[in-house]
Structure 1
Amino acid sequence: MKKIFVTGATGNQGSATVLELLDHGFDVTALTRNPNSPEAQHLKNKGAHLLQGDLENIDALRPTLQTIDGLYLVLPPVWISSKETDEQEAAMGIQILEVAKECGVNFVVYSSVMASDKQATFRPKFKFSIEQYLWASGLKGVVLRPASFMENLLLPSFGLGEGKFINPLPEDRAIPYVATKDIGTFARIVFQNPKQFEGKTIDLGSDLYMPKQILQLLESKLNQSIEFIQVPQELLYQQSKTFAQLVEMIEKEGYDPIDYSLINQWMPSLTTFDQWMDEVGTKNIRALQHKTSNISKQ
């Protein structure tokens, strides 16, 4: 299995997967809406073949799908989710898998989300629907369910650029996080060993952290005080009912335990929050703060 097609190639986990595959000798085609973007050009310079397009025009991707061995499928992120966006995502993912099967794709790694099965109780057509279709389709593959991304802290909604930590998640519940580079590494391992992983659903996350533990780590690494703001549940419902229901599910049930024994068979360890801060987090958060400060002065 040498030729891999990666969707969402310029996003955090897509680019991490592309770069990891290229570093290990795979022939990678990277799907991007804008091949002239700095992110796309970086992948090209590393050896990726760029394909301009998007998953909404699946027929244009058929010639590529007919020539590849494996598909890494990650769907475009939706920041304000709703019943409509969930249904659109489920339809898109299923359509892509249908076409992948028609084109003879040998193996699919679908990047879903942790607790997608639990979310199915209030999001009946969402990522779990795509997982179910994959297993029913006869395609060979693996479902990865990443935890919350450490990189999400760099989103404006978390407020770190303004010296705040705006927390929408339950204040008293520890949850797992994952660095996107680890998703790329594990995806590469799966593509190298498809028979050993075929048919598995794998939760992927590092240590569990409570929001205040993250806050303490941020303050220590950045050497500054950060204002902690807990987002009330009623405000979450105003912004997105589905996200509010997700937060309620996490608060009541939490996530199922991660099978670290399986992960550790293939990876010595996943990146901890402390390591992520040392490697990229501190630098990127400071850059975000500098950018935000310059904008506010204009």
Structure 2
Amino acid sequence: MTQILYHAVTGATGAQGGATARALLAAGQRVRALTRRPAAATQLAASGADVVYADFRDRSSVEAALKDVDTLFAVTTPFGSSVEQEVEDGATLVSAAAHLRHIAFTSATNADRATGIPHFDSKFRIERFLVEQDVPWTVLGPAAFMDQYAEPWHRSSYARGVLSVPLPPDRPLALVATEDIGAFAAHVLTHPEDFAGRRIDLASDELTGPSIASVLGVALGRPLRFEEAPISVAERYSPDLAAMFRYFGEVGMSVDVAALRREYPMIGWHRLADWAVCLSARRAPETRRP
């Protein structure tokens, strides 16, 4: 009798990992959700995922979690640690998974173009390490997340009728919903032969700041005006964030949205207007004030 193996998903309690796990489960696939916080993955467990503990800084835990696994969705982050730690974590994960049938690693749009953005460049270092291993691979490069517009730091400005972003008003921003990242990653993991050795940047819409504000305003039921924030605002959060917005404003991200929609219609790509309907259900209290 043939053993049915798992699709392993790292970062299962995070945005991309969670979306990928849910997409795989919805397709009837066996999912092993890897996380440092199994107690936070109760919904995935209730949906049928095998939730296991794994910590990139404990290679033995990663190796144990990858037993009886066929493919892997790999996600890393420098946030909460450092870009050097992210690279080390990525190397640990990839080398521990080098025996699998396929690894799909999620990086960032244009990370392979020497952006100078620390958390893009660290992901590209992991990409290069992955390519050097003897394992079939795919690299996904998501654009800016639509989901950021539901975060408190944005929603607090909506109460003032403003979308404030350090981006020139005439510079289009490539966007993707994490739900679409998960759907695409699940498609890759279930059709690995079609994607081996490919790097694919992902976006499902591209809009200027004023257009983004207009779309979000319609969803929220109140007008929003776009306000170009100075880069110094991003600098207050981190030099990494400032470098990212500087790159977005001066160079921009290049993704062929039309080609993705044409070639992969099964993903169900979201325009920002499609995604933004969730905002009406996620309004912070201050966005409901008259």
Smaller-chain TM-score range? 0.7 to 0.9
Is 1:19 matched up with 2:32?
no
1:119-144, CA deviations, whole angstroms, 9 ceiling, x for partnerless residues? Answer: 45453950000111111112211000
Report the CA distance between 1:248 and its aligned residue: 1.8
TM-score by length of 2: 0.88
Note if contact 1:8-1:32 (Cα within 8 Å) is conserved in structure 2: yes
Partner-residue secondary structure (3-state), 1:117: coil
Q: What is the aligned partner in structure 1 of residue 189 from structure 2? A: 191
Secondary structure of 2:126's match? helix
Pick from 104, 110, 118: which aligns with 2:113? 118
Aligned with residue 105 of structure 1, among 76, 89, 100: 100
1:42-65: CA deviation from partner (whole Å, max 9, x where unpaired):
111110011123323232121222
Matched residue type, 2:70: D
Structure-2 separation of matches of 1:2 and 1:263: 30
Q: Which amino acid aligns with 2:264?
A: W
- Alpha carbon RMSD of aligned pairs, Å? 2.4
Amino acid at match of 2:31: V
CA distance in structure 2 between the aligned counterparts of 1:25 and 1:56, rounded to whole angstroms: 31
* Residue 266 (structure 1) aligns with: 264
Q: Distance in 2 between matches of 1:291 and 1:172?
A: 27
Change (3 A) 1:97 1:155: same
Match of 2:147 among 151, 166, 177: 151
Q: State the Cα deviation string for residues 92-132 of structure 1 (Å, max 9, x = none).
A: 1122111212xx12210001111112345453950000111
The AA in structure 2 aligned to 1:141 is W
1:189–1:266 CA contact under 8 A, matched in 2: no
1:257: which partner in 2?
A: 255
Alignment correspondent of 1:66: 67
Aligned-residue offset at 1:177: 0.7
State the partner residue of 1:172: 170
SS in 1 for 2:92: helix
1:207 CA drift (Å): 1.7
1:175-215 CA distance string (max 9 Å, x none): 11111111111111111211111000001101211111111
Q: Distance in 1 between matches of 2:222 and 2:243?
A: 33
Query: What is the DSSP-based 3-state SS (H/G/I as helix, E as strand, rest coil) of the residue aligned with 1:69?
Result: strand
Give the alignment's TM-score, normalised by structure 1.
0.85
Partner residue of 1:35? Answer: 38
- Tell me, yes or no, if structure 1 residue 88 matches structure 2 residue 91: no
Query: How far apart are the structure 1 equivalents of 2:190 and 2:235?
Result: 43
Relative to 1, partners in 2 of residues 1:170 and 1:118: Cα closer, same or farther, differing over 3 Å? farther
8 Å Cα contact 1:149-1:179 kept in structure 2: yes
Distance 1:176 1:289, change over 3 A: farther
Listed as ranges, the gaps of 5+ residues in structure 2 are none
Cα deviation code 1:20-56 (max 9, x no counterpart):
111222111112233233xx11111110011123323
Which residue pairs with 1:203 in the alignment? Answer: 201
Matched to 1:113, the amino acid is A
2:114 & 2:237 partners in 1: Cα distance? 18
User: Matched residue of 1:70: which SS?
Assistant: strand
